[in-house]
Amino acid sequence: MRLTPLQIIAGAGLDIVVGDPQWLPHPIRGFGWFVNRSEAMWRGARLPLRVSGALFALSVVGACSVLVRLTLPRFTVYWIFSLLACRSLDVESNAVIAALDRGDIVEARRRLSFIVGRDTDHLDEQEILRAVIETIAENLSDGIVAPLFYLAVAGPAGMAAYKAVNTLDSMVGYRNDRYREFGWASARLDDVANFIPARLSALLVWLCAPLVGGSIGRAIGATLRDGGSQPSPNAGFPEAAVAGALGVQLGGLNFYGGVPSRKATLGDALRPLNRDAFRQVRGLLYACTFVAVAIVCRVRK
């Protein structure tokens, strides 16, 4: 379908200005409901778990994409607006830092638990700041660059297909007894879908680093050195780019359900993780969003 720059700017602008108001039904919640219903159906199929899991993933992604396609072009702006997450990521991250500013570390840990999967109950201020910056860096790709990339490639239906893949991975892409076989295809599909956007996100960080007082050279160096060091084939690239641009070190030891998980460090600790680093990563979030939107407008013109 034809997609105009005005539609793209209107959708992205609404996300930046309005965010994710609680009164407005959000498609990701609908996608999550559909995933739950579909999982029960496909688990009941008399097929090997990997096969049923693959069919489950393809059916969810296909159904979400078709649903959005059927509403076009009338709801084009709505889908762009609702499937981006720049403002909501900023608002949730700011809530954590605001609690720290008030000296309420218990509330900061509680608010942090809304946006990260790691245990937060015993984190100190430095670890809270690290978690927030890592989350913004990773979600720069998942919540902004990747949806815009698929919008450029395949319109709002492609954007919805990506978000369905991302939702599947967050719900069933675990290496535990329940999902190791059934969720395997969903996890691999997410790896494939994020391969290009994760690296484009790092490139955007390189380009935008000077706008927030960061270093292009360090961002490039950290990405090339550390981007592939994480268990995820993709998450390390935007995180390493951000770490290098800001001159901070990310990664290290986290706990998930009380189980320690040590990841390779990203970047070099040339400065402490502090409020200035948080303000810079916020600047990168918006700068990269604006540049990505401008590129999509140009591509779809």
The CA distance from 155 to 1, in Å, is 7
- For residue 8, the model assigns a pLDDT of 97
- Give the up-direction half-sphere exposure of residue 161: CA atoms within 13 A in the CB hemisphere: 20
Contact indicator for 236, 265 with CB cutoff of 8 Å? no
Question: How is the chain split into domains, by residue range?
Answer: 5-300
**Structural tokens at position 44:** 């009941």
Residues in Cβ contact with 207 at an 8 Å cutoff, skipping those fewer than 6 apart: 216, 291
| pTM score, whole prediction | 0.95
Note the pLDDT tens digit of each residue in 174-185: 888 889 999 999
Note the pLDDT tens digit of each residue in 131-190: 999 999 999 999 999 999 999 999 999 999 999 999 999 999 888 888 999 999 999 999
When pLDDT is averaged across residues 51-72 and rounded to a whole number, the result is 96
Phi, psi of 257 (to 5 degrees): 60, 35
Give the residue from 93, 79, 208, 94 showing the smallest Cα distance to 147: 79
The CA distance from 193 to 141, in Å, is 11
Give the DSSP letter of residue 140.
Answer: I
Mean residue pLDDT across the chain: 95
Determine the straight-line distance between the first and last CA of the chain, rounded to whole angstroms.
12
Phi, psi of 250 (to 5 degrees): -115, 180
Pairing status of strand 250-256 against strand 259-266: antiparallel
Phi, psi of 284 (to 5 degrees): -60, -40
- Tokens 């320690």 appear where? 260
Give the residue from 277, 276, 274 showing the smallest Cα distance to 244: 277
